[in-house]
Chain A
Amino acid sequence: MGWFKRKTEGITTSTKDKKETPEGLWYKCPKCKTVVTTEDHEKNGYVCERCSYHERIGSEEYFQMIFDEGKYKEFDAKLASADPLKFEDTKKYVDRVKATQSQTGLVDAIRTAHGKIDGQDLVIAAMDFAFIGGSLGSVMGEKIARAIDQAIKLKCPFMIISKSGGARMMEAGLSLMQMAKTSAKLNQLSAAQLPYISFLTDPTTGGVTASFAMLGDINIAEPEALIAFAGPRVVKETIGRDLPDGFQKSEFVLEHGFLDYIVERSKLKEELSKSIKLFMN
């Protein structure tokens, strides 16, 4: 005899006839496994209500969150990657770009825009990790460069929201030099005495960390974001032992003196606006 016996009639559907929950209605937090409706999750800024896990989001979500009424003017939306190296690994680089474009609906890994934050002008360059890991290539370099020109023209602060695995290998030397190019442009922004806010989100690694992401007049980050030059796997291989808890997370990077503050997404606009006001008034 079984230990449990169903006493009342209830579940009568056979496994075969069971209906799957439709995709996209529910969000399950990968950290604490709490389930909420996607609608509530979105309302909460894609942050878990229970453990405050910050889900990775894209440029559009950040623009909506930061710009007043979600209104902004995008720059160079059609700027796309060329392939001067005719790079080919297991796949042709041009095909990889095309496939990613149709899959994501994005043109490259960064979008730049001008809008207002509490009535103050701000130019933002925000990355999309979904596009080849938010990798830094010629397009990202050029868009950042042009966005800095816009900020100088508008005499307003400039912000980069980093979310990237680093330099785009398929652009080899060209992508490496984008680190130099963006740093050169930041020199011009600095000469114009305009603030540059670097906002580091999960993950910010490699060539992005080793250039503009670490060069903010203030460097700020989302909680628990991975911020590194060499990623944890590489470091672990190098030293041959396990890494300490919280290694290379925002809180760790703050403690070691490389961040000015960590900001929860729910307070992002408020804190950002405050910083800008303090710089510009």
Chain B
Amino acid sequence: MSIYLDFEEPIKALEEQIAKAKEIGQEAELDMTDKIKALEKKLSEKTTEIFSNLTPWQRVQLSRHPDRPYTLAYINAISQGTFQELHGDRSVKDDKAMVGGFGSLDGQTVMFIGQQKGMNTKMRQYRNFGMPNPEGYRKALRLMKLAEKFNKPIVTFIDTPGAFPGLEAEERGQGEAIARNIYEMMGLKVPVICIIIGEGASGGALGIGVGDKVLMLENTWYSVISPESCSSILWRSWDFKEKAAEALKLTSEDMKKLKLVDGVIKEPAMGAHRNPEEAFSIVKSEIKKHINALSKIDAEKRCEARIEKFCKMGVVK
């Protein structure tokens, strides 16, 4: 059973009608082909109608869809089982909300890094809901430096509701860990590709989000704050999340328009979770395309261009 979001209810109703029609057809040995065809046509029209007019808030809902593939699913599919996870920040512990390691992308070794969310309640807790502690960021940086040393490109998958705001996280310098990553990623001598596959919340996302190419999957969001928190701070109520989502211009389309990300990756119809295999293959070919192009550029020039790109961001008068 798929999980439907509130705005997908009309789709759910039609899909149920089709299933029922098929059932009746089989049981009563009736020819329901025309009826089913008509319903399927209606379904595809309705789907197009809903998905071509998604509001920013609906994109946020899709980005958090419980069936949506998470980082390890992408890595395992893309590396075709060659991924070897590497653990620990060599200082405090191994953060389960951040994963990483080498894997082979059709013969080319790549360093894959990303925030990891859990698939069920137990795993969600184990993964701390995809909210890394400073150790997570420091592990990510250690792995990036490892990739740099052996001249391997880096791909990061971003999917986090934010860096963890806990007591120990503060004691161990959450701010410093994120700052250090942003700073060091600017100077990495290997190609860096960052892909937002779900939620891109603020500094917690940017902590692994500095790259030559920063790409967003179609149904994701990336901003300085979640729409809920923005609503609670600026409107002093949790009820304005839809409005906040709109005001923040956090969708892939808006972020591309503002030149804050380099590209948008199309998702399968109705979202990546509806056809994960297709999503993996689209993302894989994007990664290959960009690694190929970036590898042709001289390392120094690539770094300069990366720094230049971020230096241009911002609008003043």
- Looking at chain A's contact residues, the main secondary structure is helix
Which residues of B lie under 8 Å from residue A179 when comparing CB positions? 179, 182, 203, 206
The verdict on B316 contacting chain A, using a C-beta distance below 8 Å, is yes
Q: What is the CA–CA distance of A61 and B207 in the complex, to the nearest angstrom?
A: 34
The verdict on B165 contacting chain A, using a C-beta distance below 8 Å, is yes
Which residues of A lie under 8 Å from residue B166 when comparing CB positions? 230, 235, 238-239
Write the chain B residue with the least CB distance to A140.
Answer: B314
CB of A234, distance to nearest CB on chain B (Å): 5
Which residues of B lie under 8 Å from residue A89 when comparing CB positions? 234-235, 240, 243-244, 247
Q: State which residues 142-193 of A face B: CB under 8 Å.
A: 142, 145, 167-181, 183-188
Q: What is the CA–CA distance of A120 and B54 in the complex, to the nearest angstrom?
A: 58
Write the chain B residue with the least CB distance to A180.
Answer: B310
Selected contact of A176 from candidates B206, B233, B311, CB within 8 Å: B206
Chain A interface residue count, Cβ-Cβ cutoff 8 angstroms: 60
Q: Are A209 and B233 in contact (CB under 8 A)?
A: no
The verdict on A213 contacting chain B, using a C-beta distance below 8 Å, is yes
Q: State which residues 252-310 of B face A: CB under 8 Å.
A: 254-255, 258, 260, 306-307, 310
Please give me the 4 A-B residue pairs with the lowest Cβ-Cβ distance, nearest first. Answer: A230-B165, A209-B175, A138-B314, A229-B175
Q: Are B165 and A207 in contact (CB under 8 A)?
A: no
The verdict on A129 contacting chain B, using a C-beta distance below 8 Å, is no
The verdict on B36 contacting chain A, using a C-beta distance below 8 Å, is no
Q: Are B167 and A180 in contact (CB under 8 A)?
A: no
CB of A66, distance to nearest CB on chain B (Å): 24
Sample 20 A-B pairs with CB under 8 A, ordered by A number.
Answer: A90-B234, A138-B316, A142-B316, A169-B225, A172-B248, A172-B249, A174-B315, A176-B206, A179-B182, A180-B206, A180-B209, A180-B310, A183-B182, A184-B306, A206-B203, A213-B179, A215-B183, A229-B170, A230-B170, A239-B167
Q: Are A212 and B179 in contact (CB under 8 A)?
A: yes
The verdict on A80 contacting chain B, using a C-beta distance below 8 Å, is yes
Q: What is the CA–CA distance of A34 and B170 in the complex, to the nearest angstrom?
A: 33
The verdict on B317 contacting chain A, using a C-beta distance below 8 Å, is yes
Q: What is the CA–CA distance of A211 and B175 in the complex, to the nearest angstrom?
A: 7
- From known contacts A229-B175, A235-B166, A243-B167, infer whether A175 and B224 are also in contact, taking CB-CB under 8 Å: yes
Q: Are B206 and A81 in contact (CB under 8 A)?
A: no
Q: What is the CA–CA distance of A141 and B230 in the complex, to the nearest angstrom?
A: 21
The verdict on B178 contacting chain A, using a C-beta distance below 8 Å, is yes
The verdict on A26 contacting chain B, using a C-beta distance below 8 Å, is no
Write the chain A residue with the least CB distance to B201.
Answer: A176
- From known contacts A84-B258, A89-B234, infer whether A184 and B171 are also in contact, taking CB-CB under 8 Å: no
Which residues of B lie under 8 Å from residue A141 when comparing CB positions? 313-314
Which residues of A lie under 8 Å from residue B243 when comparing CB positions? 89
Q: Are B173 and A258 in contact (CB under 8 A)?
A: yes
- From known contacts A142-B314, A181-B313, infer whether A214 and B176 are also in contact, taking CB-CB under 8 Å: yes
Which residues of A lie under 8 Å from residue B250 when comparing CB positions? 172-173
Q: What is the CA–CA distance of A67 and B163 in the complex, to the nearest angstrom?
A: 38
Write the chain B residue with the least CB distance to A198.
Answer: B179
